[in-house]
A and B are shown apart, each in its own frame.
Chain A
Amino acid sequence: MKFIPNSAIKNEMLKEIGLNNINDLFSDIPKNLKFKDLDLPNGLSQQDTEQKLRQIASKNKSYHQILSFVGGGIKPHYIPSAVKSIISRSEFYTSYTPYQSEASQGFLQAMFEYQSMIAEITGMDISNASLYDGVTALGEAALMCARINKKKYFIIPSNISWEKKSVLKNYTKGAGIEIKEISYDAKTGKIDIEDLIKSINENTSGVYIENPNYFGVFEDEIDKICKIIKDAGSIFVAGVDPISLGVIKSPDEYGADIVIGEGRALGINIDFGGISLGIFACKKEYLRNMPGRVIGLTKDLDGKRAFCMTLQTREQHIRRARATSNICTNEGLCSLAASVYLSWLGSNGLKDIAKINLEKGQKLAKKISNVKGLKLKFNSLHFNEIVIECSKDPKTINKKLLSKNIQGGLALEDNYPDLKNCVLFGITEIYTDSDIDKLVTALKEVA
């Protein structure tokens, strides 16, 4: 076996420590628990493995092989080769959580830079080093609000993704937090501010508002929303698309206290919805209530600048049952990717890419809504996702699009009964005008 150097000399090693048989090492396992033989195939050579995997991979289509405009908070963005090159350096990707700071200065500095750039784009005072994804980040944020103000009532808009609602429920149930949903305006797709006013009270620990929201729509009355939240003495948790922050008002400009978001757009593969990056930033006064790892800058014995994991007394390996979160392994390599990506863009590149996404979003909306049988569901300004109402069942439309090698939008009706025949389309900088034309031409034929 290629990965087990001592397999050829095991008898020699056994003898050196006074044993005869490898089974002597397992003599503490009761006889009736000794396992005979795994019902798995024999190992394959690496060459055969590659061949087998090629055959399995051929049953997939990537978004390069099929034109896909599916929205829902996860869309392909361009990933610079510089990002791939750096995260492929095995000094980085084969390292563990940096418990031994002196041997991990490289990763620690890159994480410090990640925290710095997240603080820059969100405008928050501090950021942690990552959570699993934007979805679990909401769960952690709700728990943090309750830790801070000991209130047990958390408000979310009804038009966030159903997955977020489900995860939030699971994250907050144990802490006895009650989740209250507020409705959205059927015309604008924005939250119903009157319903927020009605629902919020002195027992509300926090309120979660997305901008842009799951329907792609901007909450342009965000300042007003913030005032309502603050007047009630609650914590304002903002959900953001980090790409949008190049041009869209940063959360601190409208008064958010905690900012969360899905960071996959920052140089991370789509990965079938797998590896991701939970962005988590907040105001300085909440520092000791924050979940997750945090990297700090300090000095070594000689007074030289050095980095280490810090504020670990909040964490599970020290605080155990009283930790601010159970998180241990987080998404280190993904935050490294985000660090390289954001520095590759620079502030100018981030503004450009935000603008391109915004403009492409408008273009896509205009072109699709000109197709007969399709119209914009909401009359609000949106970012790079849009809800389109079809005159037919969108699942049938999507099937027909598929035969033209196009993946259509995400049908919303199953999870949002109010949105009959509605689909969510998404677009990013990687789509050209001719891609949009291809979609529109196909939609004219099938919609």
Chain B
Amino acid sequence: MYKSAVYDEPLLNELVSAKKEIKSISDILPSSLQRKKKINIPNLDETQIIRHFHRLSQMNYGIDSGFYPLGSCTMKYNPKICEEIASWDNFANTHPYMDPSLVQGNLEIMFELERMLCEITGMDFFSLQPAAGAQGEFLGMLLTRAYHNSRNDNNRNEVIIPDTSHGTNPASAAMAGFKLTEIPSTKDGTVDLDILQKTISEKTASFMLTNPNTLGIFESEIIDIQKIVHDAGALLYYDGANMNANLGEARPGDMGFDIVHLNLHKTFATPHGGGGPGSGPVGVKTKLEKFLPVPRIGKNKDGTYILDYDAPESIGKIKGFYGNFSVLLKSYIYIIIMGKNGLKETSEIAVLNSNYMKEKIIKSGKYELPYKNLRKHEFVLSCDKLKKEKDIRAMDVAKRLLDHGLHPPTIYFPLIVKEALMIEPTESESKKDLDKYIDVLIKIADEDPNIVKNAPTNTPVKRIDEVNATKNPILNWKMI
């Protein structure tokens, strides 16, 4: 069983240093430019620093530590070969302003990756610029506006989202200046076509949808949905956070989506880095190509690659340079290792693992599964029964899982499921590990509620007072 190391590791500024802060004044600088303020960063030796961060790493759970089934986060294994190759000098130490003749390898990878993502999603063109999924959504909304404006259709100020949508969807649309309308799902947990039809209007710019949705349910009426959206003159946006269910099975481009973002750090196996760097490429249908950010990656007749800035209708840029290159490179490597069959098998087993866990857990009768039965790569349980019977909440179950050496699922999302546990096992886990997780979840439901409610006790710290953190914010060592 995984067990975290436990250290009372001091903060860096509490570590003892024999060295004093020096005064350093450069005679080049006039006094008006000289720094007078002290810098309270200790002057430690490398040994101290390495031990400090090494110990911190031992109090941190990663996918290499064990099963990490955060729903909608796709915590799959990150192949080591991708890490190694991305660290090669000829990739990691290339400069974005070097002459294109010196970075043909990078440009080839970006060009080819765009084409592979087009094939996988059924879209026509891709931009690799967005730094993360939410930035991809934001770009998607900027493209949506540019598209409608180019048609002198200037009154489309509204975006519709289902009540199951990720929080980034409304946040990104709002940042792009759109008003949000949220529509309730049907009793099956899918888009309500009647309500969508009633809500959509000549003011609607876009309908943003995840398919399979955040309950893990495939929106089987997607063809009708796209018809309603397009008949109203709006665009259909695909949140690709759940693409791990669809590889080689169904493509958003074929479903009628106009704009798609992918999360390379989810579906395409790059590490999450404790919250980034990620990458959120955006794919579009041909009618939107001319609005994509610059530069585009072009290929000359002689086979050389270029950075092409010649795009008068482009929205411009949404981030410095060309995209999170090393993340793109790792995904490129992942895709060529998996190949067409490996990608298809990825989704097959991701969906199999999810349904296997779901069936076994439901059979136990300890947790409920609101909405439709068949799920894709993830499923959402409710602890509502446990709460009513034993006053055990989703939060308690999550914390108790930590005591068993397992990482909890996403909790309290989507918002339409009471006391939600959102589980996404991915294809990376073995049956043995799935069985273990299932057993522990069932066991927790039968444990003494006092133990569960006081969990975790097997971690470096016990349950954390997050309310106090918000009430009395201490955000750095000078505030202590």
- Contact indicator per residue, chain A 1-39, by CB within 8 Å of chain B (1) or not (0): 111111101100110111100100111111011110111
Of chain B, the residue at the smallest CB distance from A84 is: B87
CA distance A99 to B395 in the complex (A): 12
Shortest Cβ distance from A316 into B: residue: B171
CB of B364 within 8 A of chain A?
A: no
Q: Choose the segment among A69-77, A149-157, A185-193, A200-208 that binds chain B (4+ C-beta atoms closer than 8 Å).
A: A69-77
For B456, the closest partner residue in chain A by CB is A102
* Residue in A39, A49, A326 whose CB lies within 8 Å of B172: A326
- Which residues in A have their C-beta under 8 angstroms from that of B340? 37-43
By secondary structure, the B interface counts as loop
Q: Are B94 and A62 in contact (CB under 8 A)?
A: yes
Asked if A166 lies at the interface with its beta carbon under 8 angstroms from chain B, I say yes
The smallest beta-carbon distance between B253 and chain A, in angstroms, is: 10
Q: Which residues of A contact B134 (CB under 8 A)?
A: 316, 326-329
A166 touches B317 (CB 8 A): yes
Interface status of A101 (Cβ within 8 A of chain B): yes
Check B273–A93 contact: CB distance below 8 A: yes
Q: Is the CB of A6 within 8 A of B349?
A: yes
Question: Which residue of the partner chain, among A72, A89, A113, A339, contacts B57 with CB atoms under 8 Å?
Answer: A89
> Does B142 sit within 8 A of A, measured CB to CB?
yes
Query: CB distance A269 to B171 under 8 Å?
Result: no
Interface residue tally on A, bucketed by range: 35 or more
Stretch among B194-202, B243-251, B380-388, B439-447 lining the A interface? B243-251
CA distance A312 to B101 in the complex (A): 46
B58 smallest CB distance to A (angstroms): 7
The answer to whether B462 and A316 have CB atoms under 8 Å apart is no
Min CB distance B134 to A, Å, is 5
Say if the beta carbon of A116 comes within 8 Å of chain B: yes
Q: Which single residue of chain B is at the shortest CB-CB distance from A295? A: B475
**Residue B258 interfacial (CB < 8 Å):** no
Using Cβ atoms and an 8 Å threshold, which residues of chain B touch A447?
A: none
* A17-B131 contact given A92-B57, A298-B464, A346-B43, CB 8 Å threshold: no
B436 proximal to A (CB < 8 A): no
A198: interface (CB < 8 Å): no
A59-B104, A103-B4, A127-B475 known; A247-B274 Cβ under 8 A: no
Contact code string A290-322 (vs B, CB < 8 Å = 1, else 0): 000111111111101111101111011111111
Q: Which residue of A lies closest to B372 (CB)?
A: A28
Q: Does A115 touch B at the CB level, under 8 Å?
A: yes
Partner of A306, one of B39, B336, B464: B464
CB distance from B439 to the nearest CB of A (A): 14
| Chain B 3-44 interface residues, beta-carbon cutoff 8 Å to A | 4, 9, 11-13, 17, 19, 21-22, 24-26, 28-30, 32-44
Give Cα distance in the complex from A59 to B131, angstroms. Answer: 25
Q: Mark A249-293, 1 if CB is under 8 A from B, else 0.
A: 110110000000010000001111111100000000001000001
> Which interface residue of B17, B348, B408, B410 has the most chain A CB atoms within 10 A?
B348
Taking the complex as formed, is A334 at the interface, i.e. its CB lies under 8 A from any CB of chain B? yes
Residues of B near A295 (CB, < 8 A) are 475
Let me know if A181 is at the binding interface, CB within 8 A.
no
Cβ of B371 < 8 Å from any Cβ of A?
no
B183 lies within 8 A of chain A by Cβ: no
Contact A331 B41 (CB under 8 A): no
B33 A96 Cβ-Cβ under 8 A: no
- Interface residues as binary, A45-69 with B (CB distance below 8 Å gives 1, 0 otherwise): 1100110110011111111111010
Query: Is the C-beta of B106 less than 8 angstroms from some C-beta in chain A?
Result: yes
Give the nearest-CB partner of B273 in chain A: A333
User: Is B289 close to A, CB under 8 A?
Assistant: no
A30-B222, A35-B249 are known contacts. Are A94 and B321 too (CB-CB below 8 A)? no
Q: Are B19 and A346 in contact (CB under 8 A)?
A: yes
Judge whether A236 is part of the interface by a CB distance below 8 angstroms: no
Are A105 and B104 in contact (CB-based, < 8 A)?
A: no
**Contact assessment for A96 and B68 in the assembled complex, using a CB-CB cutoff below 8 Å:** yes
B46, chain A: closest CB distance, angstroms: 5
Find out whether the CB atom of A249 lies under 8 angstroms from the CB atom of B36: yes
Q: Which residues of B contact A402 (CB under 8 A)?
A: 99, 101-102
Is the CB–CB distance between B356 and A13 below 8 Å?
yes
Residue B178 at the chain A interface, CB threshold 8 Å: yes
Chain B: minimal CB distance from A149 (Å): 19
A167 CB-CB contact with B under 8 Å: yes
B320 with A40: CB separation less than 8 A: no
Contact B218 A249 (CB under 8 A): no
Q: Is the CB of A109 within 8 A of B13?
A: no
Residues 239-281 of B contacting A (Cβ, < 8 Å): 247-251, 254-255, 263, 265, 269, 271-278
| Top 5 A-B residue pairs of the complex, sorted by shortest distance between their CB atoms | A174-B177, A273-B321, A43-B339, A273-B96, A274-B325
Q: A53-B88, A296-B473, A349-B43 are in contact. List 5 more A-B contacts (CB 8 A).
A: A56-B108, A93-B273, A116-B476, A249-B33, A336-B273
